[in-house]
């Protein structure tokens, strides 16, 4: 079946089977940040933004994005590099396998929640699995990133 959608702000067309998963289509299109992990919608490695909201691409049929906007980490390279520096600064990148899905969820959270506290951050990111850590360093990096962003806007709060 033919379909078209927006991938990282570029209009794309694809020929897909009715059972093609979004994850597989995105990887075929060169979006290798989208990773296959558990294949049961439990780890968050395959997270992408669909119309600005996080979705698990391993459990979504590709045809469901017909005419919609999908963003992967490849489409947020500048933002990801900026936040990635905070992850590295807290020693939270370790193996890095979970980082793309984690980062996509962080950016979705920052659009959805105003000035989240540590508990809200942990709750929002509960669907992400990291086998290297318990998200302690990741949580610290998010809080530091939030303070940095607030400081740049002249709204710094300690």
Last residue in a domain, options 74, 93, 116: 74
The answer on 148 and 81 residing in a single domain is yes
The number of distinct structural domains making up the chain is: 2
CATH number of the domain at 136, please.
1.10.150.120
- Structure confidence by residue, pLDDT tens digits, 27-65: 999 999 999 988 788 888 899 999 999 999 999 999 999
Domain of 112 in residue numbering reads as 76-152
Tokens of 8: 């990282």
Which string of b and e fits 39-54 if b means at least 16 CB within 10 Å? eeeebbbbbbbbeeeb
Q: Rounded to a whole number, what is the distance in angstroms from the first to the last CA of the chain?
A: 53
Burial group, residue 13, by CB count within 10 angstroms (0-12, 13-18, 19+): exposed
The answer on 140 and 97 residing in a single domain is yes
- Structure confidence by residue, pLDDT tens digits, 61-104: 999 999 999 999 999 999 999 998 998 888 887 777 778 888 89
For residues 45 and 39, give the distance between their C-alpha atoms in angstroms, rounded to a whole number: 9
Element containing residue 10 per DSSP (H, E) = strand 10-15
Q: Is residue 15 part of a domain?
A: yes
Burial group, residue 8, by CB count within 10 angstroms (0-12, 13-18, 19+): buried
pLDDT at residue 158 is higher than 60: no
């Amino acid at each position: 079946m033919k379909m078209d959608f927006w991938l990282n702000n570029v209009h794309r067309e694809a020929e897909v089977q009715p059972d093609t998963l979004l994850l597989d289509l995105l990887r075929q299109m060169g979006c290798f940040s989208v990773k296959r992990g558990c294949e049961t919608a439990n780890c968050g490695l395959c997270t992408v933004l669909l119309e600005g909201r996080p979705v698990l691409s391993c459990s979504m049929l590709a045809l469901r994005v017909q005419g919609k906007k999908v963003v992967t980490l490849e489409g947020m390279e500048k933002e990801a590099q900026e936040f990635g520096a905070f992850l590295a600064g807290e020693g939270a990148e370790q193996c890095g396998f979970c980082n793309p899905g984690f980062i996509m969820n962080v950016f979705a959270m920052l659009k959805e929640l105003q000035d989240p506290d540590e508990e809200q951050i942990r709750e929002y990111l509960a669907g992400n699995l990291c086998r290297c850590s318990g998200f302690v360093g990741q949580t610290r990096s998010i809080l530091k990133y939030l303070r940095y962003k607030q400081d740049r806007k002249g709204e710094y709060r300690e």
